[in-house]
Amino acid sequence: MKNDRVAVYPGTFDPITFGHLDIIERAVKLFDKVIVAIAVNKNKSALFDVDERKMMIEKSITHLNNVEVVTFQGLSARFSEKMKAIALIRGLRAVSDFEYEFQMALINRKIGKNTETVFLMPTEKNTYLSSSVVREIASFHGDVSHFVPEYVKLRLEEKFKK
């Protein structure tokens, strides 16, 4: 539809967590379509390749019908404009996230003049969650079932088999 309110939620999602899902579920209530955009950065090494991350996200959002999962390279603001998005979604877990995200929002405003940054906060139980923390717990064979969907948990266990 021509006047759909589209939002882009960019990230590496390595792996997707309940915190990410919390933000996606909040965003779908505000926008007609949410594009979860997996950033591909060849200068960073990821635990999961982009196809694995895409599959984990798709399996985690089957209950949502106005979400699309795509991959992109380059600047989030340019990608958002290409997708004709009106908003770039960013999650704020704590005050410590705000300074960096505020700077990025100002930069993105310069690059993508037609896209606003919208900050969404997860529920309190997800404020401490990050993909890096989940990866670390999984690498020591800890239980990550409280942090990620079952399919993601199984994929982490496969990655860190002894």
Q: Which residues are catalytic?
A: 20, 44, 93, 131
Q: DSSP alpha helices (H): ranges in 33-94?
A: 50-60, 76-82
DSSP state, residue 48: S
Which amino acid is it at 25?
Answer: E
Length of the chain: 162
Find residue 39's DSSP bridge partners.
Answer: 72
Q: Report, in angstroms and rounded to the nearest whole number, the Rg of the chain calculated over CA atoms.
A: 15
Angle between helices 150-159 and 131-139 (to 10 degrees): 50
What is the per-residue DSSP string for 123-157? -GGGTT--HHHHHHHHHTT---TTTS-HHHHHHHH
